[in-house]
Chains A and B, each alone.
Chain A
Amino acid sequence: MPDSPDDTAPIDRSELAEVSGGDRLVEQQMLATFRRANGADVAALRQALANRDLAAVTRCTHRIKGAGRMIGAKALTGICEKIEQAGPAGDWDVMAAQGEALDRELDRVYAYLGTLA
Chain B
Amino acid sequence: MKIADLHFLVAEDHDFQRKMLARMLIRLGAQHIIEAADGRAAFEMMQVLTQPVDIIICDLDMPGMDGMEFIRLIGEAGMPVSMILSSAHERSLIASVGTMTKAYGINLLGAIEKPATVQKLETLIKLHQPRVTAKPRPASVEFSQAEIAAALAVGQFEAFFQPKVDLATANVTGAEALAYWRHPEHGIVSPYAFVPALEASGRIDELTWIMLEKAAVACRDWRRGGLDMMVSVNLSLGSLASVGLADRITELVRSQRLEPRQMILEVTETIAMTHLAHALENLARLRIKGFGLSIDDYGTGYSSMQHLLHIPFTELKIDQSFVASATEKNSCRVFLESSLDIARKLGLKAVAEGVETRAVWDLLRLLGCDVAQGYFIARPMEAAKIPDWATEWTPPD
Binding partners A and B: yes
Interface of A toward B, CB cutoff 8 Å: 15, 18-21, 26, 30, 33-34, 36-38, 59, 62-63, 65-67, 69-70, 72
Please indicate the chain B residues that have their CB under 8 angstroms from the CB of A26 in the complex: 23
Given the known interface contacts A69-B88, A69-B114, the answer about A19 and B23 at a Cβ–Cβ threshold of 8 Å is: yes
Instruction: Specify the chain B residue showing the minimal Cβ separation from A65.
Output: B88
Give per-residue flags for B77-94: 1 if the beta carbon is below 8 A from chain A beta carbons, else 0. 000000000001100000
Given the known interface contacts A15-B117, A18-B117, the answer about A37 and B15 at a Cβ–Cβ threshold of 8 Å is: yes
Among B1-56, those with CB < 8 Å from A are 14-17, 19-20, 23-24, 27
B138 at the interface (CB under 8 A from A): no
Instruction: State whether B16 touches A67 (Cβ < 8 A).
Output: yes
Please indicate the chain B residues that have their CB under 8 angstroms from the CB of A33 in the complex: 15-16, 19
Tell me the complex Cα distance, A59–B59, Å: 14
Instruction: State whether B61 touches A62 (Cβ < 8 A).
Output: yes
Residue in A21, A37, A62, A69 whose CB lies within 8 Å of B27: A21
B184 at the interface (CB under 8 A from A): no
Given the known interface contacts A18-B117, A19-B20, A30-B20, the answer about A66 and B27 at a Cβ–Cβ threshold of 8 Å is: no
Instruction: State whether B16 touches A34 (Cβ < 8 A).
Output: yes
Expressed in whole angstroms, the minimum distance between the Cβ of B36 and any Cβ of chain A is 16
Residue in B16, B17, B19, B115 whose CB lies within 8 Å of A15: B115
B116 at the interface (CB under 8 A from A): yes
Q: List 27 A-B contacts (CB under 8 A).
A: A18-B27, A18-B118, A19-B20, A19-B23, A19-B27, A20-B23, A30-B20, A33-B16, A33-B19, A34-B16, A36-B16, A37-B15, A37-B16, A37-B17, A38-B16, A62-B61, A62-B88, A62-B89, A63-B14, A66-B14, A66-B17, A66-B115, A67-B16, A67-B17, A69-B88, A69-B114, A70-B114
Expressed in whole angstroms, the minimum distance between the Cβ of A30 and any Cβ of chain B is 7
Known: A21-B27, A62-B89, A66-B17. 8 other contacts (CB 8 A): A15-B118, A20-B23, A30-B16, A37-B14, A38-B16, A67-B14, A70-B16, A70-B116
Please indicate the chain B residues that have their CB under 8 angstroms from the CB of A18 in the complex: 24, 27, 117-118
Tell me the complex Cα distance, A107–B17, Å: 21
Please indicate the chain A residues that have their CB under 8 angstroms from the CB of B115 in the complex: 15, 66, 69-70, 72
Please indicate the chain A residues that have their CB under 8 angstroms from the CB of B14 in the complex: 37, 63, 66-67
Instruction: State whether B20 touches A70 (Cβ < 8 A).
Output: yes
Instruction: State whether A70 touches B17 (Cβ < 8 A).
Output: yes
The residue in B14, B17, B116, B118 that gathers the most chain A C-beta atoms within 10 A of its C-beta is B14
Please indicate the chain B residues that have their CB under 8 angstroms from the CB of A20 in the complex: 23
Instruction: Specify the chain B residue showing the minimal Cβ separation from A15.
Output: B117
Tell me the complex Cα distance, A20–B27, Å: 8
Please indicate the chain B residues that have their CB under 8 angstroms from the CB of A66 in the complex: 14, 17, 88, 114-115
Instruction: Specify the chain A residue showing the minimal Cβ separation from B24.
Output: A19
Instruction: Specify the chain A residue showing the minimal Cβ separation from B63.
Output: A59
Please indicate the chain A residues that have their CB under 8 angstroms from the CB of B118 in the complex: 15, 18-19
Instruction: Specify the chain B residue showing the minimal Cβ separation from A18.
Output: B118
